[in-house]
C-alpha cells in the first residue's frame, strides 16, 4: 500500500508507511518532521474518519514547534495487516491493543514521550487509556467529543453482604417497544449487516458520508443537545436518529433522510467535496468493518474485564476537553461529562464547547481548536 498522495495534503504535511508495528504497516500523516528534537503530539482520529481528519491541525502544531503525528488506526485507511472479516480476530481491536499500536507509532518515530495525546470520538477512548496507564509517556491529554467517564468498578466490600439478585433492565428491549420503536447505533454497528449496509449503500459511499457528516455537524440545525436524565429508553430516544435509530432502518437509510441540498453542499467550506472524496475513496476500497469492530469490542463486553485491573485509578496528567456546542456526543453517555471533570480526571480544569461546531469539531472550527490546543500546551507546560 502506498502512502496518501501529497496532492491532497496541506503544505508541510507528509504521508508515510511505518512497517512492522504490532503486526501492522501503519500509515501516518506528520508535520514538523524536518527538525529533530521536537516534542511529539499524537493525534488519534474517530469513526468514520482517518488521520486526514487532522489535516487542519497538523500544520498549526508544526508551526508552533511540535512534531505532529496522526496515524490511520487499525482497521482504517492505508494501514494494513488487520483482519477485515466479521468472524476474524476481534481481540486485536480491543482498546489495550489499539494503545499498543499508538505507542508503537510514537516509538518508531524516535519519541519515548509525547507532549500530549489528543483523541477525537473513539480516538478519545484510546487517548484516555494512554494517559491513564502510561502517564510517563503521555504528559498531557486532550479529549474531543467523547468524555471519559471513568473505569468500570470492581465489586467492593461485598463478602459479608447479600448478593444482588436480578438482571438489569434490558435497555434495547425497552427502546424497541417505545411508541416510536428505536435502537442504539452502537449495537446496530455491532451487527453483521452493518458494514454491508453502509459500504454498499444505495446512495453510494460518497453521499452516505456526506449525509453522515452533515447530520452530526452544526450545519444540521436540529442539533441542540442537552443533558439526559439517565440510561433509560425514554431519555435516550430524545437523541437524533444517528444515535438512537429508528428500529427498521440501517444507518444508510437513517442519514439519507437528512441529505443536505446541493446548495448546502456547495456552501460547505469545512468539508468541500474534494476533501470528502479523500474519505470516500478510502472507504470505498476498505469498507467500514475495521472501524465497526471497535464498537463490537465495547458492546460485546468480552474485553471489559481487562479494564477492571485499573479500577479506582484516575487520569492525573493535565487535561482539557474540546467539543462542539452542537455535539450530542458529549451527552450520549448520561453523566459522563460530569464524572470526567469531577472524578475521572483530577487535573481537567476546562471544558470548551465551541459555537458553530457539532461532532467534527477540529474540522468545523479548526482555528479555534488550534488556538485552544496551543494555549493548553503552553499553560500546561508551566
Residue 52 is part of a domain; what is its CATH number? 3.40.50.1820
Instruction: Tell me if the bond preceding 322 is cis, omega within 30° of 0.
Output: no
pLDDT for 219-236, tens place per residue?
Answer: 999 999 999 999 999 999
For residue 156, is it within any domain? no
Residue 272 and residue 215 share a domain:
yes
Beta strands in the chain (DSSP E): 13-21, 24-31, 40-44, 67-71, 116-120, 141-144, 182-184, 244-246, 319-324, 348-354
Residue 198 and residue 254 share a domain:
yes
For residue 165, is it within any domain? no
Residue 105 and residue 17 share a domain:
yes
Closest residue by Cα to residue 54 from 39, 71, 33: 71
Q: Which grid coordinates are listed for 75?
A: 482497521
d(C-alpha 171, C-alpha 183), whole Å: 9
User: Which pTM does this prediction carry?
Assistant: 0.96
Residue 193 and residue 275 share a domain:
yes
Q: Which domain does 81 fall in, by range? A: 8-151+304-380
Residue 347 and residue 266 share a domain:
no
For residue 54, is it within any domain? yes
3-state secondary structure of 118: strand
Residue 189 and residue 142 share a domain:
no
For residue 40, is it within any domain? yes
For residue 296, is it within any domain? no
Regions in the chain scoring below 50 on pLDDT? none
Closest residue by Cα to residue 190 from 256, 288, 258: 288
Residue 315 and residue 278 share a domain:
no
pLDDT on residue 301: 86
pLDDT on residue 293: 96
Residue 280 and residue 346 share a domain:
no
Closest residue by Cα to residue 372 from 192, 357, 243, 134: 357
pLDDT on residue 63: 98
pLDDT on residue 77: 98
For residue 241, is it within any domain? yes
Residue 328 and residue 257 share a domain:
no
**Nearest 5°: phi and psi at 379?**
-75, -35
Q: Burial of 368 by CB count in 10 Å (0-12 exposed, 13-18 middle, 19+ buried)?
A: middle
Residue 308 and residue 287 share a domain:
no
3-state secondary structure of 353: strand
**8 Å CB contact between 145 and 359:** yes
* Domain limit, last residue, from 231, 266, 291: 291
* Domain limit, last residue, from 264, 291, 318: 291
For residue 3, is it within any domain? no
What is the domain count for the chain? 2
Residue 239 and residue 346 share a domain:
no
pLDDT on residue 380: 62
For residue 272, is it within any domain? yes
Amino acid at each position: 500500500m502506498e502512502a496518501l498522495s501529497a496532492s491532497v495534503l496541506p503544505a508541510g504535511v507528509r504521508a508515510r508507511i511505518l512497517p512492522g508495528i504490532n503486526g501492522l504497516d501503519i500509515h501516518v500523516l506528520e508535520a514538523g518532521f524536518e527538525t529533530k528534537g521536537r516534542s511529539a503530539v499524537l493525534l488519534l482520529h474517530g469513526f468514520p474518519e482517518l488521520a486526514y481528519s487532522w489535516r487542519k491541525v497538523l500544520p498549526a502544531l508544526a508551526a508552533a514547534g511540535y512534531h505532529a503525528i496522526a496515524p490511520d488506526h487499525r482497521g482504517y485507511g492505508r494501514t494494513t495487516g488487520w483482519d477485515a472479516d466479521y468472524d476474524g480476530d476481534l481481540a486485536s481491536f480491543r482498546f489495550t491493543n489499539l494503545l499498543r499500536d499508538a505507542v508503537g507509532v510514537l516509538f518508531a518515530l524516535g519519541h519515548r514521550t509525547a507532549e500530549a495525546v489528543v483523541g477525537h470520538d473513539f480516538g478519545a477512548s484510546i487517548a484516555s487509556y494512554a494517559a491513564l496507564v502510561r502517564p510517563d509517556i503521555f504528559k498531557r491529554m486532550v479529549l474531543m467529543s467523547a468524555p471519559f467517564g471513568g473505569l468500570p468498578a470492581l465489586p467492593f466490600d461485598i463478602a459479608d453482604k447479600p448478593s444482588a439478585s436480578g438482571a438489569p433492565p434490558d435497555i434495547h428491549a425497552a427502546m424497541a417497544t417505545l411508541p416510536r420503536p428505536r435502537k442504539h447505533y452502537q449495537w446496530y454497528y455491532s451487527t453483521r449487516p452493518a458494514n454491508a449496509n453502509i459500504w454498499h449503500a444505495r446512495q453510494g459511499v460518497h453521499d452516505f458520508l456526506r449525509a453522515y457528516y452533515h447530520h452530526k455537524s452544526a450545519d444540521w440545525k436540529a442539533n441542540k443537545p442537552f443533558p439526559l436524565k439517565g440510561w433509560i429508553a425514554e431519555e435516550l430516544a430524545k437523541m437524533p436518529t444517528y444515535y438512537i435509530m429508528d428500529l427498521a432502518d440501517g444507518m444508510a437509510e437513517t442519514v439519507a433522510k437528512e441529505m443536505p441540498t446541493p446548495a448546502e453542499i456547495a456552501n460547505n467550506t469545512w468539508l468541500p467535496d474534494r476533501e470528502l472524496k479523500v474519505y470516500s475513496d478510502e472507504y470505498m476500497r476498505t469498507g467500514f468493518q475495521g472501524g465497526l469492530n471497535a464498537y463490537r469490542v465495547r458492546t460485546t463486553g468480552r474485553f471489559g474485564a481487562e479494564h477492571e485491573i485499573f479500577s479506582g485509578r484516575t487520569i492525573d496528567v493535565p487535561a482539557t476537553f474540546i467539543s462542539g456546542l452542537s455535539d450530542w456526543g458529549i451527552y450520549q453517555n448520561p453523566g459522563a461529562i460530569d464524572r470526567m471533570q469531577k472524578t475521572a480526571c483530577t487535573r481537567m480544569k476546562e471544558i470548551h464547547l465551541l459555537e458553530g461546531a457539532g461532532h467534527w469539531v477540529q474540522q468545523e472550527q479548526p482555528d479555534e481548536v488550534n488556538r485552544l490546543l496551543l494555549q493548553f500546551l503552553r499553560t500546561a507546560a508551566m
